[in-house]
A and B are shown apart, each in its own frame.
Chain A
Amino acid sequence: GAVVSQHPSWVICKSGTSVKIECRSLDFQATTMFWYRQFPKQSLMLMATSNEGSKATYEQGVEKDKFLINHASLTLSTLTVTSAHPEDSSFYICSAGAGPLTYNEQFFGPGTRLTVL
């Protein structure tokens, strides 16, 4: 149980284009999903918390107009990187909470590796 999928697993795009990444909870409903970014040899950094049916909560320093998050259903959240630039190249990973939010137990998707040329 507690399986989270992401699509695509990798994407290469030109600078200035937008990229959408999907995150799905396959065998449970996730009221809350989380988006992380990880640069090589660095820790995961939370970008935003996505709540079904409401606006996402962004961490300090994350541009909400650049990283658009939509959580339209209990099993799907999307992250759109708008006008991507080479510095946005990173490993983007979503996670979903399967139990009480009090414990904040998060299951991670397989990640999406974004390369912006």
Chain B
Amino acid sequence: QKEVEQNSGPLSVPEGAIASLNCTYSDRGSQSFFWYRQYSGKSPELIMSIYSNGDKEDGRFTAQLNKASQYVSLLIRDSQPSDSATYLCALYSGAGSYQLTFGKGTKLSVIP
């Protein structure tokens, strides 16, 4: 069974700090990895996609993927109160259904 593990939090960081969100997964065959941000009562918003080992940067966000360790992370630099949300790690195995396997999410609170 495919599993995606995230620390549920809440993770509290002061404004301006770096927030580090982590995710581990069980399916070694997974080929696509995503970070979504979901505000309460809203739908998920795609923040980052990463497909190969290493780092991928987009503005204040950096995704890191290590397939050997089955680990994917999201760093948010210069955290803002507007970054306060639940961050969902999701992956796609590349086989069978197009179901994305989601983690339960990490709730991030950025304290002004």
Cα-based distance from A106 to B99 in the complex (angstroms): 10
Chain B's closest residue to A2 (CB) is B46
| A-side interface mostly | loop
Cα-based distance from A46 to B102 in the complex (angstroms): 11
Whether B43 pairs with A108 at a CB distance below 8 angstroms is yes
The distance from the CB of A34 to the nearest CB of chain B, in whole angstroms, is 6
Residues in A neighbouring B92, C-beta threshold 8 A? 103-104
From A57, A91, A104, A107, give the contact of B32 (CB < 8 A): A104
Asked whether A54 is an interface residue with its Cβ less than 8 Å from the other chain, the reply is no
Cα-based distance from A109 to B46 in the complex (angstroms): 11
Residues in A neighbouring B105, C-beta threshold 8 A? 43
How many B residues face the partner with a CB closer than 8 A? 20
Residues in A neighbouring B44, C-beta threshold 8 A? 44, 93, 108
Whether B43 pairs with A59 at a CB distance below 8 angstroms is no
Residues in A neighbouring B94, C-beta threshold 8 A? 102, 104
List 9 tightest A-B contacts by C-beta distance, closest first: A104-B92, A111-B43, A46-B99, A108-B43, A93-B43, A103-B32, A43-B102, A108-B44, A49-B98
Cα-based distance from A102 to B32 in the complex (angstroms): 9
The distance from the CB of B97 to the nearest CB of chain A, in whole angstroms, is 7
